[in-house]
Amino acid sequence: MDWFRKEKNKTLGVAHGKRRYDIPLTQKDGSGFLVLLVTLMSFLVLIITDGAFLMSTLSNRWQSGLENKVTIEIPAERNDGSIMTPAQLDKLGKRVMAIIDGHKIIKQATLMKKEEIQQLISPWLGHNDTMLDTLPFPVLIAVELNTRDPDALKEIEKKINKLSPEASLDTHEDWLNDLLRLTSTLKYAAFFLSLMILLTTATAIAGAVRSSMSAHHQELELLHLMGSTDRYITRQFQRYIFILTAKGAAIASVLVFPILGLAYALSNKDNSALLPSFAIEPVYFMFLALCPVLMPLFSVLIARWTVLKSLEEMP
């Protein structure tokens, strides 16, 4: 019935509904384009931000997971090229265990079994038992520390090297630092990309506002001659842009959910030893919920600045 009343009024030339804008902003406009643009830009920002949050979670997990852990490795091959027998390696492992056991900085030390080592290298060599049985496996001791004391670690390494010059104490620092540098770079790249997207959005909004002002120059001039202030005119553009961009940002927030769901499903399907399972931080959900408010507020600021600047050019 409401539709019928509107159509009838339109035919009769009667104004329907409440007056929304003194400037006919909803006529001859490109509002569809602006909504689409904000939807795409918000969507990209949300995906990139999610990536940045994930990177941050990963680096935190790596740091906290490996902070107090070291690994002692005694390779099966001696420096002279000869290969130690499993019995020799087993004996050597036990002697190293005797050195480190009871040391004040050691919380726990575990001599890894052959099966455990096989499992560790299985992602690269597969589960071919016949081949794995013939390989000379090193001795690996997983050590958990009470505190990370570099001097005490050096002292332990020295003692181990007296037993076996080939033995090494791996603090994981080298590869962990590389990974942390990589994640940090990716985080900065995500931040930079988000910034570029916001700048592009701002430019597009400013362009849309300017073109709308140019299309409605006659009406703007009339309002000016009637004594309207710049604020009065600006408020109308702000409201118009807020509504359009809120629509776009809300659509983007809804569209992000299936993508997150897909990422979640994929990450849990293939359980990687290196990558933790995909989990969305509560802070990201907060960001997702705030996007339909933050994006329009940002757009309103851009629209306000553009309108005020353009009005300065009027007599």
User: Tokens at residue 108, please?
Assistant: 């726990």
Min dist CB 5 to another protein, Å, is 13
Q: How many residues bind another protein (CB under 8 A)?
A: 25
Min dist CB 216 to another protein, Å, is 10
Min dist CB 248 to another protein, Å, is 24
Looking at the Cβ atoms of 39 and 236, the one nearer to another protein is 236
Measured between alpha carbons, how far is 167 from 161 in angstroms, rounded to an integer? 6
Hunting for tokens 């909504």 — which residue is that? Answer: 35
Decide: is 2 part of the binding site for another protein (CB under 8 A): no
Residues numbered 97-126 forming contacts with another protein, rule: CB under 8 A: none
Q: Which of 288, 302, 286, 289 is nearest to 242 (CA)?
A: 302
Q: Which of 23, 22, 5 is nearest to 14 (CA)?
A: 5
Among the listed ranges 71-79, 174-182, 226-234, 281-289, the one in contact with another protein (CB under 8 A) is 226-234
Residues numbered 165-224 forming contacts with another protein, rule: CB under 8 A: 218-219, 221-224
Looking at the Cβ atoms of 224 and 247, the one nearer to another protein is 224
One residue of 108, 203, 229, 268 binding another protein per CB under 8 A = 229
Antiparallel, parallel or unpaired: β 69-74 and 139-145: antiparallel
Min dist CB 6 to another protein, Å, is 13
Q: Which of 101, 132, 100 is nearest to 116 (CA)?
A: 132
Min dist CB 9 to another protein, Å, is 9
Residues numbered 230-249 forming contacts with another protein, rule: CB under 8 A: 230, 232
Residues numbered 5-64 forming contacts with another protein, rule: CB under 8 A: 12-15, 19, 22, 24, 27
Q: Which of 284, 242, 313 is nearest to 53 (CA)?
A: 284
Listing DSSP states for 96-153 in one string gives HHHHHTT-TTEEEEEEPPHHHHHHHHHHHHTT-HHHHHHS-PPEEEEEEESS--HHHH
Which residue spans within 40-87 are E strands per DSSP?
69-74
Measured between alpha carbons, how far is 146 from 108 in angstroms, rounded to an integer? 8
One residue of 102, 150, 227, 282 binding another protein per CB under 8 A = 227
Positive or negative CA dihedral for 96, 100, 101, 107? negative
Name the β-bridge partners of 141: 72, 111
Min dist CB 241 to another protein, Å, is 18
Min dist CB 38 to another protein, Å, is 24
Residues numbered 261-290 forming contacts with another protein, rule: CB under 8 A: none
Looking at the Cβ atoms of 163 and 311, the one nearer to another protein is 311
One residue of 1, 87, 226, 273 binding another protein per CB under 8 A = 226
Min dist CB 232 to another protein, Å, is 6
Looking at the Cβ atoms of 6 and 91, the one nearer to another protein is 6
Measured between alpha carbons, how far is 266 from 277 in angstroms, rounded to an integer? 9
10 Å CB burial of residue 99 (0-12, 13-18, 19+) is middle
Binding site for another protein (CB under 8 A): 12-15, 19, 22, 24, 27, 218-219, 221-230, 232, 311-312, 314-315
